[in-house]
Amino acid sequence: ASGFSLSNVTLKVYDILGREVSTLVNKQQRQGTYEVKFDASSMPSGIYIYKLSAGEFISARKMILLK
């Protein structure tokens, strides 16, 4: 079943200038729902982009960090 195949999954955070600031996930995972905790205590408030890649799927979204 294709739902049980492994895919290389990465979840990275970039600052607004496109510099990578954190890699939260970088491993082989099966299809499913996952939760990732993100410690942003050392990061300043601002706009960041998170990018999720899993196999052929890629999604990037904006997030705002307020402290």
Task: With a cut of 60, say whether residue 15 has pLDDT above it.
Answer: yes
Architecture of domain 2-65: Sandwich (2.60)
Kindly report the pTM of this predicted structure.
0.85
The pLDDT of residue 38: 92
Dihedral (C-alpha) 6, 36, 62, 60: value to the nearest 10 degrees?
A: 0
Q: How do the domains of the chain map onto residue ranges?
A: 2-65
Q: Is 9:28 a contact under the CB 8 Å cutoff?
A: yes
Per the prediction, the chain carries an average pLDDT of 93
pLDDT band at 2 (very low <50, low <70, confident <90, very high): low
β partners of residue 61: 50
Q: How would you classify the pairing of strands 20-30 and 6-15?
A: antiparallel
For residue 52, give the H/E element and its range.
strand 46-54
Tens-place pLDDT, residues 27-51: 999 989 999 999 999 999 999 999 9
pLDDT band at 3 (very low <50, low <70, confident <90, very high): low
